[in-house]
Structures are given as C-alpha cells and as structure tokens.
Structure 1
Amino acid sequence: MESPFKVGMINELRQKTGPEHSARRFFPDLPDAFATPFLVGLMEGVSADLMAKHLQSGEQSVGIGMNLKHTAPTPLGMEVRVVTELIGIEGKKLTFKLEAFDEKEKIGEATHERFIINADKFMKKLVSKATD
C-alpha cells in the first residue's frame, strides 16, 4: 500500500498564550514568559495533527525525538504560530522541520520525529507495564 504521507506536507497551529503558559508553572524563579515546554507541546501537536489527518483506522502516532532551539522570548498574551513541514519518511518514522513565531518574530525551530503505531498493540503494552 502506498503511503498517504508525502515530503513537503505542511500544517499550522495557532495558540493564544495566557498565564497558564508561563515558565513559572515549572519553576517559580523563571521569567513570567511563554515556557519552552509549551512550545515543545505545540510543535508536537501540530505534527501529530498533520499525521492524524492521514493515518489508517487503528493507527496513532507517538513522538520519538525532538531537537529544539527556543530563540526568543514571548510575552504572555501574544499569539504563537507553529508551522510543521514533513521532510523525511523512513517506513513508519516521519521527520518534521518546525518553525515558531510570535506576533513580532521567529521564536524557535526544531526537528521532530514521530512514529506510526498500532493503537491497540501500544495500549496493551502500556496496560501490561502498569500492572506488572
């Protein structure tokens, strides 16, 4: 079966930041600015969303790696826009190039790898691990 994924596919996500996205949620002595872990989450989310639109029944995707540079601060209250582009396909492993922007400038970039999984098999393994 031919893959539904093609190098060059893109997807975009926008998120209005608020107090719940502050770096201080992770440690009180950090700046009250948009936190890197939330940027990671947006990058993972926009890539997972691109994949979800093309996965077969019973399939899901999981993140297996990310190399991120968070290069500029974003004040809370600004909108963040994240764009992902599929740049590599190796069987069930897909690689994405990402860029993130706030309302003023580019704030980050990353490469991200995701893997296509069988959802039932994954959940059985997860449940087994939790009950062993």
Structure 2
Amino acid sequence: MLNLNEFLSIGQNAITRQVVQQEDCTDNYDNDFKSLLATPRLLHWMIDASIHAIDPYLPDEYASIGLSVDFVHTAPTSLGMTVTVHASIVTITEHDVTLDIKAWDEQGIIGHGVHKRAIVMKKSVLDKAAERARLLMIKQANEQIKDMSR
C-alpha cells in the first residue's frame, strides 16, 4: 500500500495563473452577463492547481482524481484580467488529499473553497472504465436484439 506521507506533505502547494479569455466567459451560458469569468472555468483552474500540487510528486503509476468540491465564487472577474489560483494541501489520509483553494484577480479575492482528491492507480481506473464501457455495449446490443425480435 502506498504511504502518501512519503510523497506529499501538509502545506505543499501550487499556484496557477490565467488571463481570462473569451472562451472562459459567461457568454457561453444562457444568462444576462457577458465577458465575465464563468464559475465552471474558475473551477477548472482550481482543479488544475490541485493536480499540480499533488500529481508530480506521486509515483508514475498513481494519479489523483476528484472526489468533491466545495467552492464559492464571490466576485466577478472581467475579460482580460489575470486570475491566480492557489491550492494547498491541508489534510492527507490513507487514500485521499484535501486542499484549501483560494482564487484572486488584480482587485482581490474572487473565490475560495475546499477540494478533495483520491489517490488511485492509473491502471485500475482505466481498467474499470473499460469494463463499464464493455458492459454498456453488451446492454445496448441486448436492447437492439429485443427491439428486432418484436
């Protein structure tokens, strides 16, 4: 069993920076706000920062995957502004890592929260996904056979 404390430590962190582009904005959603950073994009950047704080330090056959997000987007950020996201490890258990997340732009804090990621063997996750896809194909084939026999 992998001892995460051999690879990760409390306080370990990563910082990412992004300039808000048009594709990051609320224009892509049905709402009245245009050219503002969309919450899903901010969450995407938060997840990226979390991965950068964990995955480079794990053995090659391991990776982190998201378990939960509790995040509040507290202020608007306009097109062209720079967003900085800081992800810092606050808890390490036997199988997962919890990170404190903060995001800000040139005007101050725009969001904060907690993100939990599980540490998994890459092959195990990929094998499980392939098995689920295989079972879906079998189910769909059986439904087609039923439909043809009616």
- Shorter-chain TM-score category? over 0.9
Give the match for residue 126 of structure 1. Answer: 129
For normalisation by structure 2, the TM-score amounts to 0.84
* Offset, 1:39: 0.7
**CA-based RMSD:** 1.1
Counterpart residue type for residue 100 of structure 2: K
- What CA distance in whole angstroms lies between the structure 2 residues aligned with 1:117 and 1:50? 16
Give the match for residue 15 of structure 2. Answer: 12
Instruction: Identify the match of residue 85 of structure 1 among 66, 83, 88.
Output: 88
Q: 4+ residue stretches of structure 1 with deviation over 3 A?
A: none
**Equivalences for residues 58-77 of structure 1 within 5 A:** 58-77=61-80
- Higher strand fraction: Structure 1 or Structure 2? 1
Instruction: Identify the match of residue 55 of structure 1 among 50, 58, 64.
Output: 58
* Offset, 1:115: 0.6
Q: Return 5+ residue gaps in structure 2 as ranges.
A: 136-150
Counterpart residue type for residue 29 of structure 1: N
Q: Aligned pair 1:29/2:31, yes or no?
A: yes
SS in 1 for 2:57: coil
Counterpart residue type for residue 3 of structure 1: E
SS in 1 for 2:37: coil
Q: Aligned pair 1:108/2:111, yes or no?
A: yes
- Larger radius of gyration between Structure 1 and Structure 2: 2
* Offset, 1:24: 2.3
- What CA distance in whole angstroms lies between the structure 1 residues aligned with 2:132 and 2:75? 40
* Offset, 1:50: 1.3
- Higher helix fraction: Structure 1 or Structure 2? 2
* Offset, 1:120: 0.6
For normalisation by structure 1, the TM-score amounts to 0.95
- What CA distance in whole angstroms lies between the structure 2 residues aligned with 1:76 and 1:120? 39
Counterpart residue type for residue 128 of structure 2: K
- What CA distance in whole angstroms lies between the structure 2 residues aligned with 1:127 and 1:36? 31
SS in 1 for 2:101: strand
Counterpart residue type for residue 116 of structure 2: E
Q: What percentage of residue pairs aligned between the two structures are identical?
A: 27
